[in-house]
């Protein structure tokens, strides 16, 4: 599916943000790691691939995108609890799992998902652009 001009602009902005962040990280030692992490989490900038893990902090009732099958299908869901559980994620590390109600084929299914596995993303402009570019979101 060809990308739209809007998608290309978002991709360009994502890449420019990544370059700027790299330059900022090397030149500004006064920023704390926590401040940079909070900035990254709020926008999801730096996310180049839908499979990429991202340590995002979700809020209750936040709309999210969830990969529900290994074939890569993405569906919308809603975070249903602020309580998280900790368990193993990719590469043997531990990470937070969020409780989400996922809408798929007219059914709502509760799931526990971790952004560090790359299976859950916030519903924002950058993620929607990646979904469109990869053929998972045909219209809005």
pLDDT value at residue 72: 75
Tracing tokens 């219209």 back to the chain, one arrives at: 139
pLDDT value at residue 23: 39
- Structural domains of the chain sorted by starting position, each given as residue range(s) with its CATH number in brackets: 5-133 (2.30.30.140)
CA end-to-end distance (rounded Å), the chain: 15
pLDDT band at 55 (very low <50, low <70, confident <90, very high): confident
Burial class (CB in 10 A: 0-12, 13-18, 19+), 87: exposed
Question: How far is residue 28's CA from residue 69's CA, in Å, rounded to a whole number?
Answer: 41
pLDDT digits (tens, 9 = 90+) for 58-78: 999 999 999 987 667 899 999
Which stretches does DSSP call E strand in 27-119?
A: 63-67, 74-79, 85-88, 94-104, 107-113
């Amino acid at each position: 599916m060809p990308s739209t001009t809007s998608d290309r602009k978002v991709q360009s902005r994502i890449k420019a943000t990544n370059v700027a962040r790299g330059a900022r990280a090397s030149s500004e030692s006064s920023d704390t790691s926590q401040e940079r992490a909070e900035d990254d989490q709020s926008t999801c900038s730096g996310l180049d691939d839908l499979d990429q893990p991202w340590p995002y902090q979700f809020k209750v009732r936040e709309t999210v995108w969830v990969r529900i099958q290994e074939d890569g299908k993405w569906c919308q869901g809603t975070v249903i609890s602020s309580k998280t559980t900790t368990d193993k994620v990719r590469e043997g590390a531990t990470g937070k799992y969020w409780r989400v109600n996922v809408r798929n084929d007219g059914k709502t299914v509760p799931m526990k998902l971790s952004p560090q596995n790359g299976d859950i993303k916030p519903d924002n402009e950058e993620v929607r652009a990646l979904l469109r570019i990869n053929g998972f979101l045909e219209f809005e």
